[in-house]
Amino acid sequence: MSLDGTYDPGNIFARILRGEMPSVRVFEDDHVLAFMDVFPQARGHTLVIPKHSTARNFLEETPENIGPLMEGVQRVAKAVRAALNPDGIVITQFNGSPAGQTVYHLHVHIIPRWEGVALGRHGEGMADVEELKGLAAQISAKIA
């Protein structure tokens, strides 16, 4: 899907938001939901999505939603750092399939990185749910 298109309310993240599909949740406030990526590129790979949004990508989001979304991203990224002590953190976001986007509800990736540990492939290799729950609990405990 290119940058043009229509928001599909049946997309997987919309279904997670409505509680129709399971997810390992990390943090939630009035504006954002953070949950573990089920095909993580690194240990602790977390996604942050706006809750009240029909933006498929960053370009479509309202200015009013961008601020609270990025505040949520920073808050969760700080908790990821405090919980997992990575050497670096990638914060990234893809717009349109040529850019790597596969799910069309706006989302931001928080990917911890450690020296000498290669980045996993995007969207491949399903994580163990119990392990994700453990990581989510660690991160959640550090939300300030």
Q: Clarify whether 107 is annotated catalytic.
A: yes
| Residue 114 CB-half CA count within 13 A | 11
- Confirm if 23 and 35 have CB atoms less than 8 A apart: yes
Estimate the share of the chain in helix, then strand, then coil, as percent rounded to the nearest 5.
30, 15, 50
* 73 versus 144: smaller Cβ distance to ligand 5GP: 73
* 36 versus 79: smaller Cβ distance to ligand 5GP: 36
For the chain, how far is it from start to end, CA to CA, in angstroms? 37
Give the total of residues touching ligand 5GP (CB under 6 A): 13
Does 88 participate in binding ligand 5GP (rule CB under 6 A)?
A: no
Q: Which two tokens stand for residue 20?
A: 């129709």
* 6 versus 144: smaller Cβ distance to ligand 5GP: 6
Binding residue for ligand 5GP (CB under 6 A) from 7, 39, 58, 114? 39
| Residue 60 CB-half CA count within 13 A | 19
Does 35 participate in binding ligand 5GP (rule CB under 6 A)?
A: yes
3-state secondary structure of 97: helix
Q: In the window 98-137, what residues touch ligand 5GP (CB under 6 A)?
A: 100-103, 123
Which residues are annotated as catalytic?
Answer: 107
Which residues are near ligand 5GP by CB under 6 A? 12, 23, 35-39, 94, 100-103, 123
